């Protein structure tokens, strides 16, 4: 299967991550997996823990909440879908953080 473009991968990635439970597990799971890579140079046990916890959360999100197979276990896996996963988590955290920053209670505390 040819490598999909970023937009196609993003649309497909979003279509496979619709439930709140799956979105939440990915908001935590994707960063854990990502942080496990540099952690490998510091402490391999910590890296293994982060990596395992991240994937456990990913699989739980798909099998318990989304009721589908993770993309990495399908023929649709690609570098573009890995990029989409990172984009999904970063965008999710930015949405949460920016949403909190706009709340009146938060603005009062900052000002």
Using N-to-C axis directions, what is the helix angle for 20-39 and 44-60, rounded to 10°? 160
How many CB atoms are located within 10 Å of the residue 70 CB? 19
Mean pLDDT in order along the chain per 10 residues (111 residues): 76 91 95 96 97 97 94 86 90 86 60 42
**DSSP, residue by residue, 50-82:** HHHHHHHHHHHIIIIII-S--GGGSTT--HHHH
pTM of this structure: 0.81
Token pair for residue 61? 């999100």
Q: What is the pLDDT of residue 53?
A: 98
| 99-104, long-range: CB < 8 A, 24+ apart | none
Domain boundaries, the chain: 6-110
C-alpha dihedral over 100, 83, 7, 98, to 10 degrees?
A: 10
């Amino acid at each position: 299967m040819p490598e999909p473009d970023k937009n196609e991968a993003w649309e497909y990635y979003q279509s496979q991550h619709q439930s709140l439970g799956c979105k939440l597990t990915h908001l935590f799971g994707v960063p854990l997996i990502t942080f496990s890579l540099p952690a490998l140079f510091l402490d391999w046990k910590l890296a293994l823990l982060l990596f395992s916890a991240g994937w456990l959360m990913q699989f739980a999100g798909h099998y318990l909440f989304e009721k589908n197979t993770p993309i990495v276990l399908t023929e649709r896996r690609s570098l573009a879908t890995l990029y989409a996963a990172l984009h999904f988590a970063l965008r999710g955290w930015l949405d949460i953080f920016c949403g909190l920053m706009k709340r009146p209670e938060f603005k009062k505390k900052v000002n």
